[in-house]
Amino acid sequence: MLSKNSISYLPGLILSILLVLFISFLLYKLAFFQNPKNIFTSYSPYVIHLLKFTLFQATISTLLSLFFGILLSWSMFHFRTFPFRDTLVSLFSSALVLPSIVVILGIISVFGKHGWFNELLWTLFDKNPSGYIYGLGGILFAHVYFNASYASRVFYDAFHSIPIQRYKVAKTLGLSIWQRFYYIEFSNLKPFIFGLSSTIFLLCFSSFIIILVLGGSPAYNTLEVAIYEALKFDFDIPLSIKLSFLQIFTSLIILFFISRGYSTNEISLEHYKKVNWIETKKELVLHGIIIIIFSLLFLTPLISVVTDGLKADFSKLFEEIGFINAFKTSLYIAFLSTFFTLLLSLILSFSKSSLMQKKQVIYNIFEKIITLSSSIYLIVPSIVLGVGFFLLSRNISLSLHLIALIALIFANTLLSLPFAFNTLYPQIFIISKKYNKITKSLNINFFSRIFYIYIPNLKAQIIYITALSFSFSLGDLSIIALFGDKDMATLPWYLYEKMGSYRTNDAAGIALVLLSLVLSLFMITLKVSHVKDK
């Protein structure tokens, strides 16, 4: 219960149980659409191939993302005078929220058959390897593009959290940069590697639009894409259900074995003083080359989106009823998804913070339930939720478009929830421990604590989560792929339709609008919330 001067864990626990029960109900609808025994019957060679390839591409994508993320953050940390370093760090931070379909369009524009890079190769060497961007190569490149950039930002903070005393010891011992990295820095990255590996792996495992566009053929399909194709094109509901449960069970097994995460005790909340370590000219050249190569690979697709988008006829595009409706629908869904993400993440974070201060075993179980509910999207991806909502729509009298809107808002909220929860909870826990005694001694009530202590101290995190959730929702193209049509569309789906109908100028214009919305929102947020790198 809510006492006068304590925050109860019950609201978050009740919310978590309701969330798990609703997801379980959707899965129940999936399981009992047909004889449940059929779900566990022998799988065809094609399904086995899907599972093997899904696991393979996710494993390789994760390893490459971690390797390049560490490499980039290492160079960014040590080359402190590199021009526009802080701007680049902010741009790499935005990788996670960039709309996948927009970046893919940029990647194709740069590395596709008639892209910038191939035209350059043709001019210089009279060669044009046009097919490499489709298939496994394109999938890995796109996954690394998003996840290595995201990982580099996390590892960049990890480098800053290394105590300066360790660097002084390394300098005294005369360690080389490689010895310094192995003995001093890598040990500090390990807790982050465990947490990131599970998150990145599950994101790649449930990747959808990247595989759909860059896969190139059924040979490179994953479970997620196969579920979509079975329902959307073949209307093979039994197969989509079987694949959905295969995806869920595999995700659960993966999460059980590799999800470690890192605790708040392992991460410093402040940057240490600048390390007095003078890099040699050769070392600076090495760092500079690494930063330049990564920056070019990251920026050229975005620059291509801008240059191609500027060629669009915006006066005509902005008058299209389809564009106007898609724009309104995207904003409507993004606003509601952001509101629910903030609400749920705050409730869950407050409840977990309350439970973490209790010692009994039962409270530890409650805390695990709350943590599980916050990460449920990693276990049950949106395309599987979409199948569940689709089957649910067959048994209730609501219109399919209304069901689709509810499904989109629900899925987008779950998509943002793990990031919002992991951003809010550590700060709420620290605030609780810091002010708990004084609030009790002054007999400050619950609402006063929320408005006068927590909200002012959480302002930066709330602003950041708002931008993150809004950006995620604007760029999502998962459930809408199941429900989307000419009467029900978001900006990403409208862009995908334009690409499919070869209206490249219109597609480029929509991509520029989406990119401008997301990047401007995210960059302004970094300024307002004072998230600066020193």
Query: In terms of C-beta distances under 8 Å and separation of at least 24 residues, what long-range contacts does 152-155 make, across chains too?
Result: 152/68, 152/69, 152/70, 152/72, 152/73, 152/76, 152/92, 152/294, 153/73, 153/89, 153/92, 153/93, 153/95, 154/69, 154/73, 154/192, 154/196, 155/69, 155/70, 155/73, 155/74, 155/189, 155/192
Low-confidence ranges of the chain (pLDDT < 50): 1-6, 260-273, 531-534
Q: Indicate whether 290 and 433 sit together in one domain.
A: no
pLDDT of residue 509: 92
Structure-block tokens of residue 58: 């996710």
The verdict on residue 230 lying in a domain is yes
Side chain identity, residue 162: I
From first CA to last CA, the distance across the chain in angstroms is 43
Query: In terms of C-beta distances under 8 Å and separation of at least 24 residues, what long-range contacts does 280-285 make, across chains too?
Result: 283/78, 283/177, 284/79
509, 381, 388, 323 alpha-carbon torsion, rounded to 10°: -10
Convert 494-527 into a string of H (helix), E (strand) and C (coil): HHHHHHHCCCHHHHHHHHHHHHHHHHHHHHHHHH
Q: What is the tens place of the pLDDT at every residue in 79-115?
A: 888 888 888 888 887 887 888 899 999 998 888 877 7
Q: Indicate whether 146 and 274 sit together in one domain.
A: yes
Residue 135: alpha-carbon gap to chain centroid: 22
The verdict on residue 43 lying in a domain is no
The verdict on residue 40 lying in a domain is no
Rounded CA-CA distance 430/439 in Å is 14
Of 270, 289, 309, the one marking the end of a domain is 309
pLDDT of residue 331: 92
The verdict on residue 39 lying in a domain is no
In CATH, what number is assigned to the domain containing residue 14? 1.10.3720.10
Residues 522 and 475: beta-carbon distance below 8 Å: no
Rounded CA-CA distance 212/225 in Å is 6
Q: Indicate whether 433 and 292 sit together in one domain.
A: no
The verdict on residue 392 lying in a domain is yes
**This prediction's pTM:** 0.82
Of 259, 274, 309, the one marking the end of a domain is 309
Q: Indicate whether 331 and 466 sit together in one domain.
A: yes
Q: What is the span of the domain harbouring residue 459?
A: 1-32+313-534
The verdict on residue 111 lying in a domain is yes
pLDDT of residue 43: 75
* C-beta neighbour count of 165 within 10 angstroms: 9
Q: Indicate whether 220 and 329 sit together in one domain.
A: no
Q: Indicate whether 197 and 269 sit together in one domain.
A: yes
Residue 467, classed as helix, strand or coil, is helix
Structure-block tokens of residue 274: 């600048």
pLDDT of residue 235: 80
Of 269, 285, 309, the one marking the end of a domain is 309
Q: Indicate whether 123 and 272 sit together in one domain.
A: yes
Query: What is the helix (H) or strand (E) element at residue 181, kind and residue range?
Result: none
Dihedrals φ, ψ of 307, to 5°? -65, -40
Sign of CA dihedral 251, 252, 253, 257: positive
pLDDT of residue 4: 44
Q: What is the tens place of the pLDDT at every residue in 454-509?
A: 778 888 788 888 888 898 888 888 788 888 777 788 899 989 888 877 788 888 89
On the CB side of 240, how many CA atoms lie within 13 Å of its CA? Answer: 25
Give the C-alpha distances (Å, rounded to integers) separating 83 from 75, 88, 89, 153, 440.
13, 9, 11, 18, 50
The verdict on residue 190 lying in a domain is yes
Q: Indicate whether 145 and 168 sit together in one domain.
A: yes
pLDDT of residue 143: 94
Q: Indicate whether 304 and 318 sit together in one domain.
A: no
Structure-block tokens of residue 514: 């989406």
pLDDT of residue 267: 39
Residue 488, classed as helix, strand or coil, is strand
pLDDT of residue 273: 46
